[in-house]
Every structure is written in structure tokens, then in C-alpha cells.
């Protein structure tokens, strides 16, 4: 019996950012299934500029044309009350809120402007708050509401170049968990999803069937289940979804290291218990703060701590925000005791603590300013001591209020002091840390942020946002020896006095948190960066993600919410032995990517683990041959795609007596040729999304190259190499003249597949002469240099030669892949470099390159060439960035240098 269709008749759904992509797909789904839909879209660019009402209007018209009910709203999510008001005026109620609107302002942290930070926070955090806050009274009154907020892999794990976006997206987790706790008794359920649509790749060719699997169609059904009235239990959940795979995440807490909480408690004693701090052999799965009173009682039963290794901060300058009392003061005194120079920052009174430090013989300076005035605080630090080595972002305030009664000022004040203050201090210090290639930052989240907490929607959002920021910053800082960690402390302070009984305030001394902070800021910490620790009462424990094994739906069957509902128990099951612990975006994508081989018809890539036998079998497999016919039109189109000008008549005019095919055209006939094997059958854990196009070899076997021909290409497997954590697959392809049977071209393409190694294969590629040779440039000035500016239209033109990957043309697709604009095809700038060799030295019989980086259309390419005997060694650099895009390349010239342009 088929499951009953999930419908939303009589319900009203608000979808923000619904003019395109995921938001449009949500709107159409709810419209088709009986709901009245408010389609909100400002119509701005993905960077957040401009507005255009047409985006929302088109979606509304489409819903109405299918018999559905919908109205458009063109307000910014920053004016959430106007969006909700549209629902009430048009339809009299609101039942479901999908906070989907989003923009990107990706930029490295050192180049980030306050506007890049503030705009992301406004759209993602403030927008989600404003819409939810306006809907909340209606939800409570009708005792029904469903909320979906949107996080991302960047938020869950931190993403390079996205400190703003990572902060905003993880803020959604703390915010959602709090709404779930506050809403439960009113039948208001809130969940957060991290939808996966694409991933940044360094020049890879993705087949259309893979792109099909990254559509919104794979996200909508889960959301449909979570917001349906039949869901009465699943709330506060964090879901990863995309490509047919769905899984849930939760927090996992280590056993932790417990030290006696007294004067013998030192950073060295934490170091001695470091194994326990990170021991997940008997983990817990908390939804709130640890039992610190019980931990304190246990701690006091222990013998005095061994002092452990001495940790010295002599010559180091430590800045602590909010250090006039409480935790900050405790940190300041302990750092001073270990030899550091201290800058005591406090908005009210830094001077008392400065005096305490000086009285004990230490060096300290005051900074009386808000953490939001980061530039001023860092100026105070540099003026006092000439450098900054360690930052403890500790300043904070509380403005607790039930969400239904929270006002905009209370939300904004907490966000500004905690999250924006942490950003401002770190950002102002970053240039100094980069210059000295040294920095240690400890940021402060809280258990309210990690787990959500009643009456703290503002604080939870800010504190979880700090964790997302820290994880992204840790990725950017690592190579510069700048390490970033995050703590969730429990201590009795003036701030917690408003929510804790006085005896607990007295018992939970800040002194029992400080040793971990000092250790994390030192050079002795065994796990230097990117971690999260809960700490207090002499106890410290790492907390990390655990992800359920989830459920994988076959990608060749249309996914419905009914199918998801049948599998929801499996999706949320952490106890079936399949759960894992993702720590970065690549690991985060692993299960989704693995599902790309899951097809109902084929049953996936088959069982058995004898990869070596499979490789041998694949090597013997013969291709049927894929035809490709071309004439002067395809030749000219290709030549234009690699930068030929109207004045280059031999390349663009079929009537020129020297009309010719550029030799790199040899990659085109075989581009879409069908191989006699599947990569998923010859290496484990294959995912096209983890594939990088590493090297290309091309041999021209017939001169002159015909300007028109009917061809057939025969791909084959050449070699598979096991690099441990990755697999390397070398594909060969011979292109023949279909009429004469003569060879025209031979191509070899080397692809590097992350996560596909460890199958016991050969460790190094076979040396096969010119086919595998790398060409390091001679240690002298190049013999020739050609510089060429690509055009903004280069990728649009080149794709007409056969590579239709949307990554190179669709801004919506490229932006979710992490690129500001669509990137240029690797084989396009390969062709441009090859053209430079022909221009300078004439026709070559073979060419081999290593792809080393990406190129954006409009950037300038510089090809440097060295003639070494009959070979041209070359490399190509992107002038604007100074980075190589082609490296270790060489071309063997045709005897006599024929065919020079």
C-alpha cells in the first residue's frame, strides 16, 4: 500500500529568498501540495546588492498557473515583520516559515571589510531572527508552527575564505536549538538543515548526471517531512542533506580530564591529562550543560595535582577582553604569573586588574574600550608593548528574554558584543599576527550556544556563531602559525550571577577554567587549532560532531517526502554502528558524494573488494568507440574559445590559405567519449566531487591536422595508482579518422581522487617517457614570454566546444561551489598556453601539462617558455594573483618548426 501523500491544505508557508534555486523549489513544492505560499525575494544579486521584483513574480505566476495560491513579497529579510504581515493580510495566518534567503561575500580574513561581515550577518542571522520573531506570536496563539533555518557545511566545519558566512551559518544552529526548546510546549517545532549543492573544486569535469544529483529536488523532501503536521517529535535537529543522502548531526562530548580544583591546578596539570580531555571511548551525547556541581565534588576527592610541564610566556603579549573581573581577570592573573605582558581590556574598569598584576611584579597595561572598538583595543596593545601574540576574546553581556518577549535591541546588543566584538578584535590583530607568523586566539562560546537554552535565542545565536567563526579562522590561520580554539566555560561571575544561585557562583571559580585557556594559548598544546572544549570545575573535555549513518536514496528514482518519511527512523539513528565524526567540509560531504554511485537499476558499483582484479579487468575492456565529426565551424569555434582574434586569419577564416587547427584541439573529439569501465568500479569510495583533473598529455599523430574529419575515439584504462589517502587514475584515448582508420590524436588524462586510495595498488606511476615526464623550468630567465588577457566571455565561448559543466557559466552554481564567478575550464587555458608555444616556436608533436590552479575569465595569463633542444619547457601564471595555473609543462616540437603562426 502506497503511503498517504503529505499535504499542507489550509496552511500558509513563508519562504524567504524564493526567487530562484532552493527557495523557488520550496515554493513550488508547497504550492503543488495545497499550501498558500508567500514567495519572498528582494531580487538582489548573490552578493546582496540591488533588487528586482520579477524574481518573486515569476514564481508566483508558476504556482498560480498550476492551480495553486501564492503572493509575492519584495521586502528584505531585515524587515521580517513586513514579510509575515504579507502572509497575515493575504491568507489570515502563518504555519510554516522557511528561512532560506542568503548571500555570499567570500573574502580572505585579512581582506575582509566590515561591510562584508555586516551584510552577511544582516541577511543570514538578523533576517532569520526578524522573520521568526514576527511569526512567533502567531505560532503561539494557534499552538502550531514549523520553522526551518538554513546552516551549511561552511558553518558546521568552518570554510576557508568564509569566516563571515561560517559564523552566520553556525549561528543558525544555536538559534534553532533555542527556538526548539522554547517552542515545544506550544507545538512549535524548529529544525536546521545544511543543504549540500556543490563543492569547491580545482578544475574538475563533472558529468551532467552528477550535476543532476545536486539539484534542490534532493533537499525539499526532507524539509517537507520536518514541517508537516505528522512530525510531532523531530525538533532541534541538525540535518545534512543533498545528493540523495540524509543524515543527522549531534554533539558528542569526550569523557574529559579532571584535575583537583585548588591552587595546585596548573596548565601543566591539564597537559598531563590531555589524553583524557580527548578520550571519546565512553562519550556522552548532551543536550545541555554538564553537571558541574557533581564534577566539582569529584574533583575535590582527587589528590593535589602534579604541577606538570612548565609553560612560559616570557616575551609574549596577551590581550584579554572583558578582563576587569570574572573569567577575564582570572586569565590575566594566570598569564601574568607565567611571564606574559598583559593588556587588560574592559569597558568599565581595567585599572584594578592592571594594578593587581603590577603589584605581583608583572607587566600590564589598560585598554578602556568596548570589544566592538577592536581597532582601538589593538592600538592600545601595540602602543603599550609593540606586538600582540595571544588574544582571549572573553567580553560578554546577557540580555535574556523569552523569545516571544525579546526585542530587536536585546538581540542586536548581544550579537554585537559577542560575535561582532570577537570579529573586530581578531580582525584588527590579524595583520600583526600574519606579519610575525605567530598568533594564538581563544574564543568563547557557551553551552547555551552549542545546545541552545531557554530565553537565550540572542546569546545562543551569537555564541554558536563564534564557534563557526573560530573554525573558519583556524583554517585560514594554520599555515601562518596562527592557531584558533574555542571554549565553552562554566564559571560563577557577575554575568552568571543573574541566572545562578550565589553558592554556585562562589563554588564555580573562574580559576578552574583559566589553566586550559593558558595551555591552549601556549606552544605546548598537542592539538594546536580548530577544537572546541567545554571547561569548568577542574574538568575539561573536547566536544565534536557525531553524524548518523543516515539513509541513501537511489539517485535514479525521483525522491518524494513520503519515501523520506518511511526512512526517517534510519536517518536519525546514531546507534546502528554507522555513525562517524566529520571535522571538515570534505569529510562532511563524504556520504553525500558516495551516494552518487547508488542507482536502483544497477545496485551501485557492486560488492567485493578485489580492486586489483577489477583494475586488470578494466584495462582489458575495449571501448565501442564514440564518434565526433567536425568541420571548419568547430575548428574556428575552438580557436576563438582559446583566444584567437579576428586578425588571426589562419585561425578564424576558413578561406585563408594557411587555415589551420591548433594542435590542442586534439582534446575535443575525445572529450565526451564513453569509456569501457566506470571509475567507481576500480577505486574505493569514488566520488566525482572529489576528483581533480591533475595532468593532461596530448600527442598529435597526423600532420597537418585535418581541418575537417569524421572521427572515432576509443578510451581505455592505462593505470591506477594507490597514494594511500587518494587514488590516481590515468585514462588514455586514441582518436582515429573514421574514414581511413589513421590515428589523429592520443590523449592521456590523469585524475586525482581524494579518499579513493588504500586498495593495495602500485604506489608510483610507471615511467613511460614523454607521456609521464615532468618538465621543471631551467634556472634562468625564460627565452620567450607571451602575455594574454582572457575575456569575461572566455568560458561562455569555450563551453561550446563540448564542456558544458555549469561550474563555468552559471553564477548560482559556481557561488555554491565557493567561486565568486564561474571559473575558466582547465582545458581552455591549456589551449591558450599551447597556442603561445605555437606562436613562438611552431607546431609541436606532443604536449604535457600539470594543472596547478584556477583561472577566472578576464584574468591575464603569462606563459614563460624555455627552449631546451627540440623541446619547449613552459609554465603559465595568472598575472593578477601571481599563482601558477600550469606547471612543469613541456612540448616536443615538430621537426623544422612547421606551422608557426
Closest CA to 392 of 323, 489, 494, 326: 323
SS3 readout for 719-775: EEEECCCEEEEEEEEEEEECCCCCEEEEEEEEEEEECCCCCCCCCCCCCCHHHCCCC
Q: Are 129 and 175 in contact (CB under 8 A)?
A: yes
Q: What is the largest CA-CA distance in the chain?
A: 96
- DSSP, collapsed to helix, strand or coil, labels residue 276 as helix
Contact between 149 and 128 (Cβ < 8 Å): yes
Residue 665 covered by a domain: yes
Do 409 and 290 have their domain in common? yes
* CATH number (domain holding residue 187): 3.40.50.720
Segment holding 786, helix H or strand E? strand 784-789
262 occurs within a structural domain: yes
pLDDT of residue 609 exceeding 60: no
pLDDT the model gives residue 222 = 97
pLDDT for the residue numbered 72? 97
- Asked if pLDDT for residue 497 goes beyond 90, the answer is no
Query: Domain check: are 417 and 512 in the same one?
Result: yes
569 and 685 within one domain: no
DSSP symbol at 679: G
* Element holding 310 (H helix, E strand): none
Confidence band of 164 (pLDDT split at 50, 70, 90): very high
Residues 704 and 656 in one domain: yes
Average pLDDT across the chain, whole number = 90
Q: Do 228 and 283 fall into the same domain?
A: no
Under 8 Å CB-to-CB from 18, ≥6 apart: which residues?
24, 26, 27, 37, 39, 40, 41, 56, 59, 100
Q: CA–CA distance from 775 to each of 268, 692, 745, 837 (Å)?
A: 51, 20, 22, 15
Tell me if 319 sits within 8 A of 380, measured CB to CB: no
610 has pLDDT over 90: no
- Picking from 690, 693, 682, the residue whose alpha carbon sits closest to that of residue 759 is 682
pLDDT top residue among 887 and 592: 887
The answer to whether residues 379 and 526 belong to one domain is yes
Query: Is 600 among the domain residues?
Result: no
pLDDT tier for residue 554 given thresholds of 50, 70 and 90: confident
Q: From the CB of residue 618, how many other CB atoms can be counted at a distance below 10 Å?
A: 19
CATH number reported for the structural domain that contains residue 732 in this entry? 3.10.129.10
Of the candidates 129, 144, 165, 423, the residue annotated as catalytic is: 165
> How is residue 405 written as a grid cell?
518577549
Going 50 to 54 to 58 to 59, the CA torsion angle's sign is positive
Note the pLDDT tens digit of each residue in 446-474: 988 899 998 999 999 999 999 999 999 99
pLDDT of residue 506: 61
Distance CA 139, CA 122 (A): 24
Which of 762, 797, 814 marks a domain boundary? 762
Q: Considering the domain boundaries, does residue 204 fall inside one?
A: yes
Which range among 39-48, 499-508, 861-870 shows the weakest confidence by mean pLDDT? 499-508
pLDDT band at 160 (very low <50, low <70, confident <90, very high): confident
Angle at 882 between CA 877 and CA 883, to 5 degrees: 60
**Inside any domain, residue 837:** yes
Q: How confident is the model at residue 725 (pLDDT cuts 50, 70, 90)?
A: confident
Structural domain ending residue among the three candidates 734, 762, 790: 762
Per residue, the 3-state secondary structure of 105-122, as one string, reads CCCCHHHCCHHHHHHHHH
Number of C-alpha atoms within 13 angstroms, CB side, residue 782?
17
**Residue 3 within a domain:** no
Question: For the segment 165-176, what is each residue's pLDDT rounded down to a tens digit?
Answer: 999 999 999 999
Q: Lowest-confidence range among 30-39, 341-350, 401-410, 678-687?
A: 678-687
Summarised one tens digit per residue, pLDDT across range 808-848 is 888 866 765 567 788 999 999 999 999 999 999 999 999 99
* Cβ neighbourhood burial of 804 (10 Å; 0-12, 13-18, 19+): middle
Mean pLDDT of 238-249: 93
* Orientation of helix 80-91 relative to helix 127-142, angle to 10°: 40
pLDDT of residue 44: 52
Band of residue 55 on the pLDDT scale cut at 50, 70, 90: confident
Which of the given ranges, 602-616, 635-649, 751-765, has the highest pLDDT on average?
A: 635-649
CA distance 505 to 528: 31
Q: Sorting pLDDT into bands at 50, 70 and 90, what band is 307?
A: confident
Q: Which residue has the cell 569523557?
A: 255
Shared domain for 755 and 782, answered yes or no, is no
Q: Assess whether 732 and 794 both reside in one domain.
A: no
Please state the domain count of the chain: 4
Percent of the chain whose pLDDT exceeds 70:
91
Residue 159 has pLDDT above 70, yes or no: yes
286 falls in which pLDDT band (50, 70, 90)?
very high
Least confident of 65-69, 493-497, 598-602, 686-690: 493-497
C-alpha cell at 16: 524567504
The residue that leads in pLDDT, 880 or 607, is 880
Residue where one domain finishes, among candidates 762, 785, 802: 762
Helix (H, G, I), strand (E, B) or coil at 368: coil
Structural domain that includes position 871: 773-900
Same domain, 861 and 739: no
On the question of pLDDT at 204 being above 50, the answer is no
Predicted local distance difference test score (pLDDT) of residue 516: 97
Based on the residue annotation, tell me whether 723 is a catalytic residue of this protein.
no
- 590 noted as active-site residue: no
768/201: higher pLDDT? 768
Exactly one of 24, 130, 169, 815 is catalytic; name it: 169
Dihedral angle over CA of 677, 678, 684, 689, nearest 10:
150
pLDDT of 267 above 80 = yes
pLDDT tens-digit profile of 313-336? 999 999 999 999 999 999 999 999
Exactly one of 459, 483, 533, 638 is catalytic; which is it?
A: 459
Residue 54: the pLDDT is 84
| pLDDT at residue number 859 | 97
pLDDT of 105 > 50? The answer is: yes
pLDDT of residue 338: 97
Residue 1 lies in a domain: no
> Do 158 and 229 fall into the same domain?
yes
- Give the rounded distance of the alpha carbon of 259 from its chain centre: 37
Residues 81 and 118 in one domain: yes
- Domain shared by 114 and 205, yes or no: yes
Q: Decide if 845 is catalytic.
A: no
| 806 inside domain | yes
Rounded distance between C-alpha atoms, residue 128 and residue 147, angstroms = 10
Whether 601 shows a pLDDT value over 60: the answer reads no
Angular region, 365: left φ>0, alpha ψ -120 to 50, beta rest: beta
Confidence label for 200 from pLDDT (cuts 50, 70 and 90): very low
Average pLDDT over residues 124-128: 96
Residue 386 DSSP label: S
pTM across the whole model: 0.70
Residue of higher predicted confidence among 680 and 330: 330
Amino acid at each position: 500500500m502506497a503511503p498517504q501523500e503529505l499535504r499542507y491544505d489550509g496552511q500558509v508557508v513563508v519562504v524567504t529568498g524564493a526567487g530562484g534555486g532552493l527557495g523557488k523549489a520550496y515554493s513550488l513544492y508547497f504550492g503543488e501540495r495545497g499550501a498558500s505560499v508567500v514567495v519572498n525575494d528582494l531580487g538582489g544579486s548573490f552578493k546582496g546588492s540591488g533588487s528586482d521584483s520579477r524574481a518573486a513574480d515569476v514564481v508566483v505566476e508558476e504556482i498560480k498557473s498550476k492551480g495553486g495560491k501564492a503572493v509575492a513579497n519584495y521586502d528584505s529579510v531585515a524587515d521580517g515583520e513586513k514579510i509575515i504581515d504579507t502572509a497575515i493580510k493575504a491568507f489570515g495566518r502563518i504555519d510554516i516559515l522557511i528561512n532560506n534567503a542568503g548571500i555570499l561575500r567570500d573574502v580572505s580574513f585579512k581582506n575582509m571589510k566590515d561591510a562584508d561581515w555586516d551584510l552577511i550577518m544582516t541577511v543570514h542571522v538578523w533576517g532569520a531572527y526578524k522573520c521568526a520573531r514576527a511569526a512567533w506570536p502567531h505560532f503561539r496563539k494557534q499552538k502550531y508552527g514549523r520553522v526551518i533555518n538554513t546552516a551549511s557545511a561552511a558553518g558546521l566545519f568552518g570554510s576557508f575564505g568564509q569566516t563571515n558566512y561560517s559564523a552566520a551559518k553556525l549561528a543558525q544552529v544555536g538559534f534553532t536549538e533555542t527556538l526548539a526548546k522554547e517552542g515545544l510546549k506550544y507545538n512549535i517545532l524548529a529544525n536546521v538543515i545544511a543543504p549540500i549543492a556543490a563543492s569547491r573544486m580545482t578544475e574538475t569535469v563533472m558529468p551532467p548526471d552528477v550535476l543532476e544529483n545536486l539539484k534542490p529536488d534532493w533537499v525539499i523532501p526532507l524539509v517537507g517531512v520536518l514541517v508537516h503536521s505528522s512530525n510531532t517529535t523531530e525538533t532541534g535537529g541538525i540535518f545534512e542533506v543533498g545528493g540523495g543522502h540524509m543524515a543527522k548531526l549531534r554533539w558528542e562530548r569526550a569523557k574529559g580530564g579532571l584535575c583537583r580544583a585548588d591552587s595546585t591546578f596548573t596548565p601543566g596539570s591539564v597537559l598531563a591529562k590531555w589524553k583524557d580531555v580527548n578520550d571519546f571511548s565512553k562519550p556522552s551525547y548532551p543536550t545541555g550543560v554538564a553537571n558541574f556541581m557533581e564534577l566539582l565534588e569529584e574533583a575535590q576527592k582527587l589528590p593535589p595535582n602534579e604541577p606538570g610541564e612548565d609553560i612560559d610566556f616570557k616575551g609574549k603579549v596577551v590581550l584579554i577582553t572583558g578582563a576587569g573581573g570574572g573569567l577575564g581577570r582570572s586569565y590575566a592573573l594566570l598569564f601574568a604569573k607565567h611571564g606574559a605582558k598583559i593588556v587588560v581590556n574592559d569597558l568599565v574598569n581595567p585599572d584594578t586588574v592592571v594594578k593587581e598584576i603590577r603589584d605581583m611584579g608583572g607587566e600590564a597595561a589598560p585598554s578602556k574600550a568596548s570589544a566592538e572598538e577592536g581597532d582601538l583595543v589593538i592600538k592600545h596593545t601595540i602602543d603599550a608593548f609593540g606586538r600582540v601574540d595571544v588574544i582571549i576574546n572573553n567580553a560578554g553581556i546577557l540580555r535574556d528574554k523569552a523569545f516571544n518577549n525579546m526585542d530587536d535591541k536585546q538581540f542586536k546588543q548581544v550579537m554585537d558584543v559577542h560575535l561582532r566584538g570577537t570579529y573586530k578584535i581578531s580582525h584588527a590583530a590579524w595583520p600583526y599576527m600574519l606579519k610575525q607568523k605567530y598568533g594564538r586566539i581563544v574564543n568563547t562560546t557557551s553551552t547555551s550556544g552549542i545546545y541552545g537554552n531557554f530565553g537565550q535565542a540572542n546569546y545562543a545565536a551569537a555564541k554558536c556563531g563564534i564557534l563557526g567563526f573560530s573554525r573558519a579562522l583556524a583554517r585560514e590561520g594554520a599555515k601562518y602559525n596562527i592557531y584558533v580554539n574555542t571554549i565553552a566555560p562554566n564559571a560563577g561571575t557577575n554575568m552568571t550571577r543573574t541566572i545562578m544561585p550565589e553558592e554556585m557562583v562562589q563554588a564555580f571559580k573562574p580559576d578552574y577554567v583559566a589553566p586550559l585557556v593558558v595551555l591552549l594559548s601556549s606552544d605546548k598544546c598537542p592539538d594546536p587549532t580548530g577544537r572546541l572544549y567545554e571547561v569548568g570545575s577542574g574538568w575539561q573535555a573536547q566536544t565534536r560532531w557525531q553524524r548518523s549513518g543516515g539513509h541513501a536514496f537511489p539517485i535514479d528514482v525521483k525522491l518524494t517526502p513520503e519515501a523520506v518519511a518511511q526512512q526517517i527512523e534510519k536517518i536519525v539513528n546514531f546507534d546502528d554502528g554507522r555513525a562517524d565524526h566529520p571535522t571538515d567540509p570534505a569529510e562532511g560531504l563524504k556520504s553525500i558524494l558516495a551516494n552518487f554511485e547508488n542507482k536502483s537499476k544497477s545496485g551501485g558499483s557492486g560488492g567485493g573488494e578485489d580492486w586489483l582484479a577489477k583494475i586488470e579487468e578494466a584495462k582489458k575492456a575495449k571501448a565501442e568507440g564514440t564518434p565526433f565529426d567536425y568541420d571548419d565551424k568547430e575548428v574556428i569555434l575552438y580557436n576563438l574559445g582559446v583566444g584567437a582574434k579576428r586578425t588571426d586569419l589562419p585561425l578564424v577564416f576558413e578561406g585563408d590559405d594557411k587555415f589551420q587547427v591548433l594542435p590542442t584541439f586534439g582534446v575535443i573529439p575525445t572529450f565526451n567519449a564513453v569509456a569501457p569501465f566506470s571509475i567507481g568500479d576500480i577505486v574505493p569510495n569514488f566520488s566525482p566531487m572529489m576528483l581533480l583533473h591533475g595532468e593532461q598529455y596530448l600527442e598529435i599523430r597526423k600532420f597537418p591536422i585535418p581541418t575537417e574529419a569524421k572521427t572515432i575515439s576509443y578510451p581505455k584504462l592505462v593505470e591506477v595508482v594507490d597514494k594511500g589517502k587518494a587514488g590516481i587514475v590515468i585514462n588514455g584515448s586514441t582518436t582515429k579518422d573514421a574514414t581511413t582508420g589513421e590515428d589523429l590524436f592520443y590523449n592521456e588524462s590523469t585524475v586525482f581522487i581524494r579518499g579513493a586510495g588504500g586498495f593495495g595498488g602500485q604506489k608510483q606511476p610507471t615511467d613511460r617517457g614523454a607521456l609521464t615526464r615532468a618538465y621543471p623550468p631551467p634556472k634562468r630567465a625564460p627565452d620567450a614570454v607571451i602575455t594574454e588577457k582572457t575575456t569575461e566571455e572566455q568560458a561562455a565561448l569555450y563551453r561550446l566546444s563540448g564542456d558544458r559543466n555549469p561550474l563555468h557559466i552559471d553564477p548560482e552554481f559556481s557561488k555554491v561551489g565557493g567561486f565568486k564567478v564561474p571559473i575558466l575550464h582547465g582545458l581552455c587555458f591549456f589551449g591558450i598556453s599551447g597556442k603561445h608555444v605555437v606562436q613562438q616556436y611552431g607546431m609541436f608533436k606532443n604536449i604535457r601539462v600539470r594543472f596547478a590552479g584556477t583561472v577566472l575569465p578576464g584574468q591575464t595569463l603569462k606563459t614563460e617558455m624555455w627552449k631546451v633542444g627540440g623541446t619547449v619547457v613552459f609554465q603559465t601564471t595568472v598575472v593578477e594573483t601571481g599563482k601558477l595555473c600550469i606547471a612543469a609543462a613541456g612540448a616536443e616540437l615538430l621537426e623544422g618548426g612547421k606551422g608557426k603562426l
